[in-house]
Every structure is written in C-alpha cells, then in structure tokens.
Chains A and B, each alone.
Chain A
Amino acid sequence: MLDNLKNTDFSPLKNIPMKSVRLPLTVLFVLLFQVLSFAQAQSADFMNSMGKMYVVVAVILAIFVGIILFLVFLDRRLTKIENQINDHG
C-alpha cells in the first residue's frame, strides 16, 4: 500500500483525466461565476423583483451545482478504483 501511495501524484490537476472531466468542470465553474457576477450586477433590480423570488431560484441553483460537483468528485473516485482494479486484476 505504501509503495502505491508513493507513486500517487496528489496534485489536483494531474488526477483529473484530461478529456473526460476537465472540460465539463471548467464549463461548470465558468457558468457558476457567470451566474454569480450576473446576480451581482443585476442585484438591485433583478434579484429584488417579484418579491425576491430570484433569490430562491439562486439558492436552489447553488444546491444543484453543489450536488453536481459532488457527483464529479464521486465519479473521479470510482474511476480511480476501477482503473486500479483493471490494472492489477
């Protein structure tokens, strides 16, 4: 087990498979910041309109993004163990 740990690179980017995860993850983060900066710029009028209903929408979106990010984390963890099982039988 210790041998294996030595070979593991803990730097966050190296563990992310280039094609499968990094692009969607980047897109997700960009979208998140777009939403946040949009909410900031519009905050006075847009977020307070309709009795502040869009604040509830933003909260639900934040929960959604959080759960999706968590799914990405779980996906990566399963991919890693799958790869190890495939490599070492």
Chain B
Amino acid sequence: MEKLIRQYWWKALGVLIMVYVFTVGMLVPLKPGITTVAPSAARTGTDMTLDVTGYNTHFLEAEDSVRFWLKLDNERALAAKAVQVVSNNAVKVSFSIPEYLPSGEKVQPFSILMDNAIDGAIIRPDAVFVTQDSIHPALGESAWKNDPITRLHVYDGMTFPFRNILGETIRNTYYHVSLWLAMMLIFIAAMVYSVRYLRTLDSRNDHWAAALTTVGLLLGWLGLFTGAIWAKFTWGAFWSWDIKQFTTLIALLIYMAYFVLRRAFPDEAQQARVSAVYNIFAFVALIPLIYVLPRLTDSLHPGNGGNPAFGSDDLDNTMRMVFYPAVIGWTLIGSWIASLLYRTARVEESHWDGYEAK
C-alpha cells in the first residue's frame, strides 16, 4: 500500500476511465422516442387525429416509411388511416376507430406504435384511452386487424434508452447513481481499516479509515446534491422527503458525527480506538438505511418500494458499458484523494510527534 500510493498508473487509469465516462456518457444519443400524444381520449365510431411529437425522431427524412398503429397487443392493432408529417419531430396521425373495441372493457387504453426506416419501431404505452358505448368483442376483433404489424425496422447504432420524463437526464445514472456505489465501496474500505486498527492498534490504519471516510462523505454529499438537482426537474422539487433521500441524509449525518467524535478526544490512541468502533457502527447503520428501509415503503426512486434495482428497465446493456466504468472511475479517483488525505495525516502526525519530543 505504501508503495502503491506513490505510483501513478492507477490514478491515470481512474482519470482515463472518467474521460471515457464523460465523453461516451454525453455523446451517445438517446434512442428516438415519443414524448406526447394528444388528445389522449377518444370514442368508438369516430375519426380522430392525433398530434404526435417525437424526440430524436426523423419523421420527415423517413416520410415514406412512417407507419402508426393503435395497439392492444400484437394480434389486435389498428393501422392509421392517414399520416401527415409536419416535421422531423411532429406528425399528425388519423385513425377511424371502429364501432366496437376488441375487448370487453368499457374504457380500454391503447399503445401507440410507430415504425419508420430510420428510427425503427417506437412504442408509447397507454397513449390513448378509447371509450365504447356497447360492448361486442368478437365484432371488434375483426375490425381491429386492418393491417398487421409486420416488417418492423430496427434502429442501428449505439443509443441510450428513451424514458419520457427523464429525457436526456437518464445520463445522470453515470454522474449521480455511480457516486453512491463508489461511496459504498469507499465506506466498506474505511470499515475494513477500522477493523484492522482494532486488531493491530497501528495508527496508519486509523489514518486510512479517516481518509476514506472523508472521501466517502464527499461522494455522499455530491450524490445528495446532484440527486436534488435531478429531482427538481423530474420529480418537481429539490427535496421531497422521499424515503431514500431521508435515509441517506441520516446516514451521512451519522458519518459526519465520526469527525465530531474524533475531535472530542485529545489523546490520539483513545481517539483512534473510539472512532474505529464508531466507524464500524456507522457502517452497520448505513446498510439498512440505504439498502433495506427504502425498499420497505413507497419511494420515488426506481428500484425501491419492492422492486429490485437495476432491472432491464432501468439499465440496459449500453448503459452498463458506461455505468460500471463510472463506478470504478469514481472509486479510483476517490482512492487517490484518500491517499492524499492519508499522506497529509502522516505528515501531520510525524510533525506533531517531532514537536512533542522537543
């Protein structure tokens, strides 16, 4: 370890990984998507014209191949009667809705499915709610098969997924979520050094624990602030007392108390021993606060309120190619900062010792 902190390869590696994360994370485009469909309600037996706006779409450039469906499932879908392209991101789509729906529901939500040669197939679930006056599923079935969904195109090229409320902020997965995982790794390392200190009573282990905890707190506060900015423009408020916001704030305050505790003891050995024990306690408190409690109740965060995190909905394979390097990159840079803090603490200690000896 003493040799490693004076070597540069792993620091350079961390910087290179972050350069990769920032360039690829910012430059890869979002997959084309549908942002709005208006109106969102219709009645059977009427003609309806929908204003559809797209994001990163190429309606104009692929005008000849633009097709739309109102879709219940692959078997029951109604192709558009006419498609009038306004611009690359706007299109007017007309449907004549049959007398009967292919389902027994009075109000049935339908997805909008778009396909063109450039953007591939895009689906917007539950886009239009159609109300029927009388119910006759069998008659509906035959009417809702005017043009089967075939020959769909596939978008080629690397993209990040399009999510309607998130938009481009899905990239914050690399700049906000990765901070928390890096923080977790750093806090694990800090806890290991605290255990090592209690076993060896070697002050170097205590300095490592303090340095890593400082870095973990830096990453945690950055995570909290970046999360607040992201929340403002997706959830509507910087701070909404979401269970995960609340529990992570408590976890960070518990870790802040680590440094208050350190300053309270003038005797170095006592300070190191008490703070090592407290650090282990703080880590034990961190796990339920961040990983258990938010899953027990409703949360605005994805992956909470019963859902497992990092399902295919939240993180697809192209995102993994940036997300996991981001975690490694933040961890390496965090370790670099921690090694600087550790070296500073060593210099401070040797100076204090020398001063006291005189």
Q: Which residues of A contact B (CB under 8 A)?
A: 1-2, 4-5, 39, 43, 47-48, 50-53, 55-56, 58-60, 62-63, 66-67, 70, 74, 77-78, 81, 84-85, 88
Instruction: Decide if B356 touches A59 in the complex (CB within 8 Å).
Output: no
Say which residue of A47, A50, A81 sits within 8 Å of B351 (CB atoms): A81
> Which chain B residues lie closer than 8 Å to A88 at the CB level?
351, 355, 358
**B330 shortest CB reach to chain A, Å:** 10
Query: Can you show 9 pairs from A to B with CB atoms below 8 A apart?
Result: A52-B166, A55-B168, A56-B175, A59-B226, A66-B222, A70-B337, A74-B344, A81-B351, A88-B358
A39 to B169 CA separation, bound complex (whole angstroms): 15
A30 to B71 CA separation, bound complex (whole angstroms): 53
Instruction: Decide if A56 touches B348 in the complex (CB within 8 Å).
Output: no
> Which chain B residues lie closer than 8 Å to A52 at the CB level?
166-169, 233-234
A33 to B352 CA separation, bound complex (whole angstroms): 39
Instruction: Decide if B169 touches A55 in the complex (CB within 8 Å).
Output: yes
Instruction: Decide if B266 touches A2 in the complex (CB within 8 Å).
Output: yes
Known: A66-B222, A77-B344. A59 touches B175 (CB 8 A): yes
Instruction: Decide if A70 touches B218 in the complex (CB within 8 Å).
Output: yes
Q: Does B106 make an interface contact (CB < 8 A)?
A: no
Max chain A CB contacts within 10 Å: which of B166, B229, B234, B344?
B229
Instruction: Decide if A51 touches B340 in the complex (CB within 8 Å).
Output: no
> Which chain A residues lie closer than 8 Å to B226 at the CB level?
59, 62-63
Say which residue of A5, A48, A62 sits within 8 Å of B266 (CB atoms): A5
A1 to B352 CA separation, bound complex (whole angstroms): 7
> Which chain A residues lie closer than 8 Å to B358 at the CB level?
88
Say which residue of B26, B222, B355 sits within 8 Å of A62 (CB atoms): B222
> Which chain A residues lie closer than 8 Å to B55 at the CB level?
51
Give 4 new A-B contacts, CB below 8 A, not counting A47-B233, A59-B229, A63-B222.
A56-B168, A59-B230, A81-B344, A81-B347
**A40 shortest CB reach to chain B, Å:** 9
Instruction: Decide if A56 touches B172 in the complex (CB within 8 Å).
Output: yes
A7 to B309 CA separation, bound complex (whole angstroms): 52
A55 to B228 CA separation, bound complex (whole angstroms): 11
> Which chain B residues lie closer than 8 Å to A60 at the CB level?
22, 175
> Which chain B residues lie closer than 8 Å to A50 at the CB level?
168
Q: Report, nearest first, the 7 A-B pairs whose CB atoms are least far apart.
A: A51-B167, A51-B168, A53-B168, A52-B167, A59-B226, A66-B222, A55-B233
> Which chain B residues lie closer than 8 Å to A81 at the CB level?
344, 347-348, 351
A74 to B341 CA separation, bound complex (whole angstroms): 8
Q: Does B225 make an interface contact (CB < 8 A)?
A: yes
A4 to B226 CA separation, bound complex (whole angstroms): 39
Q: Does B221 make an interface contact (CB < 8 A)?
A: yes
Considering only residues 205-235 of chain B, those with a C-beta below 8 Å from chain A are 218, 221-222, 225-226, 229-230, 232-234
**A75 shortest CB reach to chain B, Å:** 10
Instruction: Decide if A58 touches B347 in the complex (CB within 8 Å).
Output: no
A60 to B221 CA separation, bound complex (whole angstroms): 14
Say which residue of A4, A58, A74, A84 sits within 8 Å of B229 (CB atoms): A58
> Which chain B residues lie closer than 8 Å to A55 at the CB level?
168-169, 172, 229-230, 232-234
Q: Does B171 make an interface contact (CB < 8 A)?
A: yes
Q: Does B192 make an interface contact (CB < 8 A)?
A: no
Interface flags for B308-340 (1: CB within 8 Å of A; 0: not) read: 000000000000000000000000000001001
Q: Does B30 make an interface contact (CB < 8 A)?
A: yes
Q: Does B76 make an interface contact (CB < 8 A)?
A: no
Instruction: Decide if B233 touches A51 in the complex (CB within 8 Å).
Output: no
A71 to B229 CA separation, bound complex (whole angstroms): 22
**B217 shortest CB reach to chain A, Å:** 10
A62 to B179 CA separation, bound complex (whole angstroms): 13
> Which chain A residues lie closer than 8 Å to B233 at the CB level?
43, 47-48, 52, 55
> Which chain B residues lie closer than 8 Å to A59 at the CB level?
172, 175-176, 226, 229-230
